[in-house]
Structure 1
Amino acid sequence: MDDNKQIKAWVMYDWANSAFATTIMAAVMPIYFISVAGGTDGSWSFTQTAAAIVVALMSPLLGAIADHTGRKAAFLRVFSIIGAVASAALAFVGPGDMWLASILVVIGMVGFGTGNTFYDAMLNDITSPAQRDKVSARGYSMGYLGGGVLLAVNLGLILGWESIGLPDKTAASQISFVTVGIWWFVFSWPLFRSIKDTRLAREGSVFATLRAGTRRLGETFSRIKRYPELMKFMVAYWFFFDGINTIIVMAASYGTTIGIKDDDLIAALLLTQFIGFPATLLFGKLAVKWGSKKMLYASLITYLIIVILGYFMTNAMHFFILACLVGLVQGGSQATARAIFSRLIPPGRTAEFNGFLSFTSRFFSFGGPLVFGIVKLVSDSSRSALLAVAFFFLAGILLLTLVNLVKGEREATQY
C-alpha cells in the first residue's frame, strides 16, 4: 500500500500550500490588512469567520461527490488553483481596500481549506494505518519548512525593499502575495502528476452527480451514529481545532494591536516555522512511541499556557518566546489529530468523512474568531479577547478524555 513516490508527492503539497498559511493567514497579510488596507483586528476576525462558513458549507457535499466519482485529485487541483490565483491577486489591494482584501482572503481560504479536505483524505490512500502518524507528521513538518522558506524570502523583500529598488514596503508586501500564488502552484505539481484519480464507474450528468453526492452526504449524517468514538473525537476536535485556528489567524493582528512592530511580528512567526519543522517530525515519532492521545493532550495543555501567557505579553521578546512554544506543538497537534481521525473512519469513504469533518470543524471554527471579535467589541480589550480563546482548549481536552481510540478503530472496520 505504501508508495514512496506518492508519499513524497503528498508531503510536498504541504510544502506548497503552507506558503498561504504563513504569508497570507499568519504573517504578512494580517499586518497589511490593518496597516495598509484600513482594517482592524476585529474586521480581520470577521473575515476569518466568513471564510470558515463558506468552507463549511462546501466541504461535505464536495467530499461526498469526490468519493462517489473517485475524483479527489481533480477537486484538489481545482481548489489549489483557485487559492493560488486569489493569493496572487492580493497584489492589487492598496490603501483603504479593506473589502477587496477581505473578499480575496475569503476566496484564498476557500481554496486552501476545501483543498485540504481532499488532501487529508488521500492519506488513507497512500499509506497504511501503522505509518499514518509518521507520514502525517512528515507532511506538516515539510509544510513548516516550505512555508518558512518562502516567508524568509518575503521577510527579506519587506525589510530590504529600499536596497533592492522597490518604492516602499507596500510594494514589497504586494510582491510577496504574488510569490505565494506561484509557490503554491509550482510545488503542487508533483502531487498532480503522481497521484491520479481512478474514476469509478458512476458517470452521469452534473445534476445526477450532485444528487448522488447529496444522498451520500445524507447517508453520512445517518451512519455517523454507528461510530460513537469517532463522533466523540470529532466533537473534541471541533473545540481544539477552533482554538488552534484562532491562534494562527489572530496572532499577528493581536501583536499589531498591542504595539509590537511589524518586523518583529514577522520574524517571530518565521521562527515558529523553523522550530516547527524538526519539532513536528519529533512529535510524530513520540506519538508512535508514547501514543497519539498522550501527545495530543500535551500539545493542547501547551496551547492553554500560550493563551494565558499571551494575555500578559507586553513586548517583542515575549512574542518571540510564545512563537517558540507554538512552533513546538502546532504542527504536531494537527498531524496527530489528522492521523487519529484517519484510523477512526470507515474504509472507502475517506473524502466523504474528511469533508464531513471539514464541514463541522469549519462550521464551528468561526466560533473562535467570532468570540475574539465580540469580546473585543464589548470589552475594547484585545487581551480579554485572547484570553477567551482558552475556553476552546479546555473544552477540547475534557472531551478528548471521553474518547476510546482502540474501540474507535474497531468500530471503523465493523460496517
Structure 2
Amino acid sequence: MSASKKRVWGWMAFDWASQPFYTLGLTFIFGPYFATVATQYYLTGGMTETAADAQAQAIWSAGQTVAGLLIAFTAPFLGAFADNSGRKVPWIAFFSLVYVVTTFALWGLTPDGASLILMLVIFYAGFFAAESALNFVNAILPSLGNEKEVGRISGSGAAFGYWGGVVSLFLMLLIFAENEQGVTLLGNPPPFGLDAEAREGTRFVGPFIAIWYIIFIIPFFLYVRDDRNAPSKSTRLGAVWGDLMQTLRNVFVRKSLLSFLVGSMFYRDALNALYAFGGVYAALVLNWSLIQIGVFGIIAAIAAAIVTWIGGICDQRYGPKPVIRAAVWVLVGVSFIIIGMSRESLFGVVPFAEGSQIPDLIFYGCGICIGGAGGALYASSRSMMVRHTHPDRPAEAFGLFALTGKATAFLAPALITLFTIMTGSNQLGFVPVIFLFLIGLFLLRWVNKDGDRAEWSASSQQ
C-alpha cells in the first residue's frame, strides 16, 4: 500500500475510533440511560412523571448547549494557532487524552443519580474533546486528494465511522447492556461479574468507548503526519488573533462561503438535535427499553454507513450541494413524523390500538432516514467546506466551520427546552427543529456548488 493510501486509511481510522462516542454515548446507550436515571431521580424528589421527563430532557439539552458554546468560541482560535504553527497532530493527541479520561469516567453514573450533574459535566467535557479533535482531523482532509476525490474520501471516511458505530453498538448490546430483567440481547447477564442490578453492564459503556478509541486510533498516529513543508507563521497570541480577525473579515465579502456557513449552522444544529434527542424521545415518548433503543441504533447506523458511502459517490459525481439538499428534505419529513406521533395516534388523526407495534415500526423507519440522511449531510457538508478552504489555512477554516456549527448549538436545545416546557409535550418540543432545517435549506440558494476557494486564492495572491 502506498504512503498516500496509508495516510487516507489512517485518517479514516479516526472516524472508526471516535464514532462510538456519538453512537453509544450521545444517542443510543448513555444518553437514554442518563434520561432514565434523571427521570427517576426527579420522580423520587416529588415531581410528576411529565415534569420529571421534561426536566430530564432540559438538563441534557443544557449540557449540550454549554459544550457547544465552548467549542464554538475556542475552535477558530485553536485552528488559527495550529495553522500558524503548521502542526495539527499534537492537538489531536492532546484532545484524545482528554477524551479517553472523560469517557472512562462515565462508569460513575449510578442508578440512584447521586452523581447526576457531575456525570453530565464529564460527558460533555468528553464531547468537547471529541469535537475539538475532529476539527483538526477535518483540517487534514483537503490534503488527502483533489477536489473531486475529497468528496468520495469524506463520504467513505464517514461511512467507515458509521460501521464502527454499528459494530460497537452490536457488541455493547450482545455482551454488556442489560434490560429490565438484567440480561443482554443474548439473554445472558453481563460478563466479568458486572452487577446487573446496579446497571454495571450499561455503565460499562464509558470504559468501552475509551478502550475502543485507544485501540483503533493507532493507525491514525502511525500513518498521519503533519506536512513538514507546511508554511508556518508567528504563534504569538497577538499574531494569531490578527490572522483570525482578517479571515473573519474576508468571510463577510465571500457571499458563497458566508451563505454556506450560516445555512449549515442552522441545518447542522437541527441535525444534532435529532441525534441528541432521538434516543431520549424513544425512551420518554414511546417507552422503549434500552435494548429496543440499541436495536434502533444498529438499524440507523447501518443505514448511515450505506447511504453515506453512496452519498460520497454522488458527491464525487454531482458535487456536494445536491446531496445536502436531498438530505435536508428527508430530515424535514422525519421531524414532522416525530412531532405528530405518539403511542396513541399519528397526528391525532390515525389512532393506534393499545399495544400496537405500528408506532415502533414507524420510528424504526425514522431511524433509517435520520441515520442515512444525517450521515450523507455530514460528509457532503465537510466536502463543501473543503471547496471554500484556502489551502494554507485549513485548520482555521474548519475552526470557522465548527464555530458556525456550534455558535448556535444552544439554539436547538434551548428552543426544544422552551417548547417542551411551554407545551408540556416532548413531541411538540421538536417543532423548532423543522424551522431550523428550512432556514438552512433556504440559505443554500446562494452557495456556489463549486465553492469559491479557487477565486479567493487567486485574488489573495494579487
Distance 2:448 2:317 in 1: 18
**C-alpha contact (below 8 Å) 1:2/1:128 kept by paired residues:** no
Match of 2:173 among 143, 152, 155: 155
1:261 counterpart SS class: coil
TM-score normalised per structure 1: 0.94
1:5 maps to 6
- Aligned residue for 2:452, secondary structure, equals helix
- The alignment status of 1:83 with 2:99, answered yes or no, reads yes
Match in the other structure for 1:16: 17
Distance in 2 (CA, whole Å) between partners of 1:215 and 1:346 is: 17
For residues 324-403 of structure 1, what are the structure 2 equivalents within 5 Å? Answer: 324-403=368-447
Q: What SS does the aligned partner of 1:153 have?
A: helix
- Superposition deviation, residue 212 in structure 1: 2.7
Please say if residues 13 and 220 of structure 2, whose CA atoms lie closer than 8 Å, have aligned partners that are also in contact: yes
* Residue 203 of structure 1: how far off its partner (Å): 8.5
1:240 equivalent in alignment to 2:257:
no
Worse-matched range after superposition: 189-198 or 231-240: 189-198
Q: What do residues 360-408 of structure 1 show as CA deviations (whole Å, max 9, x unaligned)? A: 2211122111111111111111111112210111001111012123362
Amino acid at match of 2:90: A
Partner of 1:404: 448
Matched with 1:116 is 134
- Which residue, out of 166, 184, 190, partners 2:219? 190
Q: How does 1:262-301 map to 2 (within 5 A)?
A: 262=289, 263-301=291-329
Higher helix share: 1
Q: In structure 1, what is the Cα distance between the partners aligned to 2:105 and 2:406?
A: 24
For residues 202 and 136 of structure 1, the distance between their equivalents in structure 2, rounded to whole angstroms, comes to: 26
What amino acid does structure 1 have at the position aligned with 2:220? L
Question: Structure 1 residues 226 and 167, CA, compared in 2 at 3 Å: closer, same or farther?
Answer: same
| Structure 2 SS opposite 1:331 | helix
Whole-Å Cα distance in 1 between the matches of residues 366 and 279 of structure 2? 12
**Distance in 1 between residues matched to 2:319 and 2:223, nearest whole Å:** 31
Give aligned pairs, total: 412
Q: How does 1:50-69 map to 2 (within 5 A)?
A: 50-69=66-85
Measured after TM superposition, the shift of residue 285 of structure 1 is 1.0
* Contact 1:242 1:392 survives alignment (8 Å): yes
Q: Contact 2:339/2:428 (CA < 8 Å) preserved in 1? A: yes
Distance in 2, Cα, partners of 1:15 & 1:309: 31
Letter of the 2:270 partner, please give it: G
Instruction: Please list every run of 5 or more consecutive structure 1 residues that lacks an aligned counterpart in the other structure.
Output: none
Equivalent runs, 1:121-160 vs 2, <5 Å: 121-156=139-174, 157-159=176-178, 160=184
Root-mean-square deviation (Å): 1.9
**Per the alignment, in what secondary structure is the counterpart of residue 133 of structure 2?**
helix
Given that 1:123 and 1:132 are in contact with CA atoms closer than 8 Å, whether structure 2 keeps it comes out as yes
Q: 2-side partners of 1:14 and 1:361: how far apart? A: 18
TM-score under structure 2 normalisation? 0.85
Which deviates more from structure 2 when the two are superposed, residues 160-169 or residues 176-185?
A: 160-169
Q: How does 1:17-56 map to 2 (within 5 A)?
A: 17-37=18-38, 38=41, 40-56=56-72
Hey, what's the Cα distance between the residues in 2 that align with 1:277 and 1:74?
29
Secondary structure of 1:364 counterpart: coil
Find the aligned partners of 2:305 and 2:448 in 1 and give their Cα distance. 30
The answer on whether the counterparts of 1:264 and 1:316 sit within 8 Å (CA) in structure 2 is no
Partner of 2:354: none
The 1-side partners of 2:83 and 2:146 are apart by: 19
Identity %: 24
Code of the aligned partner of 2:381: A
Q: Are 2:264 and 2:404, in contact at CA under 8 Å, matched by a contact in 1?
A: no
